[in-house]
Amino acid sequence: MDVTHTVEAMTRKLLQGIVSDRGRHVIHVVRVLDDILDLPEIDELGGKMCARVLTKHGDQTPNVVVVQGDTKETLRLFGESHAIAVVRSALFNAAIAWSPLELDERG
């Protein structure tokens, strides 16, 4: 059963985007496509993205929001409440430029 979970995680389709927040601050957004994750998987995905951003951009703790769902009715956002509000607004205003994201087992 662990093998199936690992294969699913490796083939998961993800997108990334950045939303500006209060001047020079940004919120990193991870969008999950074609899959519904449970809370531990969402926490793990957010943690991997935080680690990736810290490695690339420095020592300030990044703000990450995980998004899943395809429509306004099914959209679910996970992260800090202020960041969720900013990202939700950007989503509905089509203000996020998405690019493919691959996170391996190490982040």
Q: What pLDDT is recorded for position 31?
A: 96
The arrangement of secondary structure in 2-101, i.e. its CATH architecture, is: Roll (3.10)
Query: What is the chain's pLDDT, residue by residue, as a tens digit (107 residues)?
Result: 444 444 444 568 999 999 998 877 899 999 999 888 999 999 999 999 999 999 988 767 899 999 998 887 889 999 999 999 999 999 999 999 999 999 865 44
Give the integer Cα–Cα distance in Å for 41 and 38.
5
Q: What pLDDT is recorded for position 83?
A: 96
For the CA atoms of the chain, what is the radius of gyration?
Answer: 14
| Single-letter amino acid, residue 107 | G
Angle at 77 between CA 93 and CA 48, to 5 degrees: 115
Q: What pLDDT is recorded for position 59?
A: 65
Q: What pLDDT is recorded for position 99?
A: 96
Q: Where are the domains of the chain?
A: 2-101
**Residue 27's beta-bridge partner residues?**
19, 63
Give the integer Cα–Cα distance in Å for 81 and 65.
9
| Single-letter amino acid, residue 1 | M
Q: What pLDDT is recorded for position 96?
A: 94
